[in-house]
Every structure is written in structure tokens, then in C-alpha cells.
Amino acid sequence: MKWALLSVWDKKGIIELAQVLAELKYNIMSSGGTGKALAGAGVKFTEVSSYTGFPEMMDGRVKTLHPKVHGGLLGRRQIDDAVMAKHGISRIDLLVVNLYPFEAMLQKELNLESMIEYIDVGGPTMIRAAAKNYKDVAVVVDPEDYPEIIHAIRSDGISADERFRLAKKAFARTAAYDAAISNYLYRLDSPFPETFTVQFSHGRALRYGENPHQLAAVYGSRGIAGTEPLQGKQMSYNNYLDVNAGAALLREFDEPAAVIVKHNNPCGVATSQDILDAYLTAREVDPVSAYGSVACLNREVTRRTAEEICKTYVEVIVAPSFSRDSLEVMKKKETMRVLPLPQRSESDEIRTIDGGVLTQRTPPYQEHWQVITDRDPSADEMKALQLAWKVCRHTKSNTIIFADRNRTLGIGAGQMSRVDSAKIAIAKACAPLKGSAVASDAFLPFPDTLEVAAAAGATALVQPGGSIRDKEVIEAANRLHMAMVFTGVRYFRH
């Protein structure tokens, strides 16, 4: 008869699996909480302590750490049979284990003494033993795999290929578990660990990377990385980058808003009382750049909005939801990706560089808006400054943004010179800039950018401040009768 060892923290589906195993004449071994659950359901099993001859001890810290357990998992068929028989070790053919919920407990902000008790020892040890011996033992670490296991054991048994797949998944699980523990312990006395270990699952190959000659994949099961289109072609590498940029900016707005993104920069942003109007206004800020863009909306897409979206070439449309009628309309754009806007998944930013990675975290902080000129911004100017500043935070440096109360008017992004960014924004302006507001992602080192903006018609400017020449810039603003606000916070994006 075959043996199955069941030892799980998450009891989801374990009774149903155990009942099938019992029906198919497996000997079931278990202990602790899993054993109580099986007993409560009337499933017969052998206690681990009865099998090993040693009781559970040390408040359950030691129960499966025994040669009769690990010998049953590691014993090689036809090679170790004699030694197993000599020591009364039964072959364990199926191991079903999931671990103490260390990662989940991290969210509860428990003290170190409490967290230590959620470090599983026996579970990972058994998993590694069974996975090493995958040619003879199937190891299951995820309840989502139970239906497939049930189907297999009801038919021809668990195949070699399936055991190998399960082993890879098992090693990935123990690697992630140990990474969480390592990162937690290191961070007790430092914001960033000396050794930083990360793991992302749900990997999917992409057609190519930024360019057709590059290979690429996406990893992640949450947020944008884990969201699949409702229709259209497979998401591309560049699509993911643009959606990520657009969603980050879109989340700055509570009112109906539309963000059009091209090559990781916004090319049009607008707000309105109506999402259709917001979309049309954002698109018209720079209709040439909007061709082949990613459009992000923070309200449901209705039929009328879908019809407008379909009048031009949009790579991806992102929104919290889509009406049934809108989805019918967008079907005629067979290649356009229709992507639900997911909840934000908080995490540190990680970027690769030659030989390693850079990581950064944005903690809660407070901007301090301070009018530092003789003239205060008017209500309209303040509204425009706030919109421009939101867009500025999500545009590549150096950036200069012109805006009115409801939309961006001109965007200059990614230039080595701040003055050049201003000139590009002016050249691309979708409307006269008289009375507009301007935002700069970093301080103005000289008055020249302000002077260029004023000459174009801007009457208010927001910037972080902090230059050694702030006094000169303030004097220039007063001379030009511009209102200027310092925020105290810089927003470089590289």
C-alpha cells in the first residue's frame, strides 16, 4: 500500500483530498492540527508519533524530524530498499505540506519573539526531502493543486513529469519562505537588508522586450503585473511599462480623470465631471502622440466612451470596469488590449544595473506648499498648479508641465536642460498659454526657465525650491508679477 503524509497549516481542501486518498486505500499519516481535522471528518490516519515511536515534543517544534519520516521521503526505490526494511521505514509516496504563515504574520507587526514561532522547520525540511526525491515522491505545497492530484491518483497515478513540476514548485516555495525570513531579520536593525532576496511568481514569456531582438518575460501575480487583458493581443513589455506609468499618475486623482501615456510619459492629462469629456480633452492635448498610446481612465468605460476610444489607434485601454455594451463596441478593435485597473500593490521599487539592483522606498511624507512671492496664486491658478504638479511627479526628468484648471497644456519631458524642457512644452502646447500654470520637478537653478515660461504667458509656477539662487528666481517672479509656490519636495524620475 502507498503512504501519504499530510501536514498543513492551511486546511483548505485537505479533508476532500484525504477522503479520496482513503477511498483509494492509501495509508495516511498525520499529526497536530491536521490530524485533528482528519479525525473530526472521520478519516482514519496514523499518528506520526505512533509511526516513529517518538512523541511530539517542545510544544510541537519537534514532530516530523525523524529518520523514519525523512527516510521514507528520501529513500531511493531499488537502491535503499534493504536499509529501509532493516529500520522499519515505510515508503512515503505523497507529501502534502504547507507552511506556518510567516509572510501573513508580517502584516500584523508582531514582535521578534512572536515571529520566531511562525518560522516552520519541519515543513520546509520535509518539502526539500520529498522534492529532492521527486522521481519517487510527489510533493504538494499548494491547495490549488489538489484537484489535479485527485484526478491523477484516480486514473493512472501521478506522472514523472507532474512530480518534476511539483518539485520545482516546492523548491520555489521554500526559497520564497526563507527569503521572507531573511529579509525580516535583516530589517530589524536596518531599513534595507545586507542581503536582499526577492521572488516573483506567475512568470509568462512575452513576445519580445523593448525591441524585437530582445527576450522578455513578466513576473508577478498581483497589481498590474498579475492582470490579464479582457480582450486583445498579449500585453507587451512596453505595454506593461506604459500601463504602470499611467496607473501611477491616474491614482493621483479622485475626480474623473484621463491619462494618455506614450513611451512611459504622459502626453495628455485632463479632469472633468464626466469621464468621456476627460478622455476627449486629454486626447486632444497632443493627438499626434496619442496615436498608439495607452489610455488610462479612473471611471467605468461606457458605450459612448468606447466608441470614442475606437475612433483612434489605442494600444491599451485601462479602467476600473467596462460596461457590457462598451466591451461589445471594443470587440471590433481586435488587437486593442482592454485591461481592468487593479488595486495598487505596494512594494519597494527595484531596478537592475550592471552587476546588481537599486531599490528605493517612498515613505509617507508631507509636502509643504509655501507662497514665496509678493503675489498669491488666484484660485484658478492654484487649481492649475496642483494639476501640473501631479503630472510633474510622474514625468521623466527634467520636466516642465504647463496646465490650466482641468488639463495639461504642454509637456516637456526627459531633457538634460530644464530650459529646453520648457521650450518643448511651449512648442507642443495645445492652446494659448496665457494665464497658465507651470510645474518643475526640481528647483530652478537660474531664473531663465521662469522667464521663458512667463514670456509664453504663464502667470504661476510651482517648484521644490532649495537652489542657492532661489533669491534670484524669486526676484524674477516678482518682477514678472508671477505667483510662485515652493513645495519642499523634489520629484526626479530617471
Q: What is the pLDDT of residue 69?
A: 83
Q: Which candidate, 68, 191, 203, places its Cα nearest to that of 126?
A: 68
**First CA to last CA distance, the chain:** 62
Question: Per-domain residue ranges for the chain?
Answer: 3-187, 204-340, 370-486
Q: Which candidate, 451, 230, 214, places its Cα nearest to that of 320?
A: 230
Q: What is the pLDDT of residue 443?
A: 96
Q: What is the pLDDT of residue 103?
A: 86
Half-sphere exposure of 156 (CA within 13 A, CB side): 4
Residues 6+ apart with CB under 8 A from 187: 193
Angstrom distances, CA of residue 262 to CA of 24, 289, 316, 335: 58, 7, 11, 18
**Cell numbers describing residue 13:** 481542501
Q: What is the pLDDT of residue 60?
A: 64
On the question of a common fold for 204-340 and 370-486, the answer reads yes
Q: What is the pLDDT of residue 56?
A: 72
**CATH topology (fold) of 370-486:** Cytidine Deaminase; domain 2 (3.40.140)
Contact 1, 94 (CB under 8 A): no
pLDDT in tens, the chain (494 residues): 798 999 998 899 999 999 999 889 889 998 888 888 888 988 888 887 777 776 776 766 667 778 888 888 988 888 887 887 888 888 889 999 998 888 888 888 888 988 888 888 888 998 999 999 999 999 999 999 999 999 999 988 899 999 999 999 999 999 999 999 999 898 888 888 888 888 888 899 999 999 999 999 999 989 999 999 999 999 999 999 999 999 999 999 999 999 999 999 999 999 999 999 999 999 999 999 999 999 999 999 999 999 999 999 999 999 999 999 999 999 999 999 999 999 888 888 999 899 998 999 888 878 999 999 999 999 999 999 999 999 999 999 999 999 999 999 999 999 999 999 999 999 999 999 999 999 999 999 999 999 999 999 999 999 999 999 999 999 999 999 999 999 999 999 99
CB atoms near residue 17 (< 10 Å): 24
Partners of residue 46 on adjacent β-strands: 29
Q: What is the pLDDT of residue 201?
A: 87
Partners of residue 8 on adjacent β-strands: 98
For 218-266, write each residue's pLDDT tens digit: 999 899 999 999 999 999 999 999 999 999 999 999 999 999 999 999 9
Q: What is the pLDDT of residue 348?
A: 87
Q: What CATH number has the domain spanning 3-187?
A: 3.40.50.1380
Q: What is the pLDDT of residue 296?
A: 98
Angstrom distances, CA of residue 410 to CA of 290, 297, 369, 427: 14, 20, 23, 8
Q: What is the pLDDT of residue 257?
A: 98
State how far the Cα of 230 lies from the Cα of 232, in Å rounded to an integer.
7
Q: What is the pLDDT of residue 59?
A: 66
**Global pTM?**
0.85
Enzyme catalytic residues:
132, 263
Q: What is the pLDDT of residue 62?
A: 67
CB atoms near residue 152 (< 10 Å): 16
Architecture of domain 204-340: 3-Layer(aba) Sandwich (3.40)
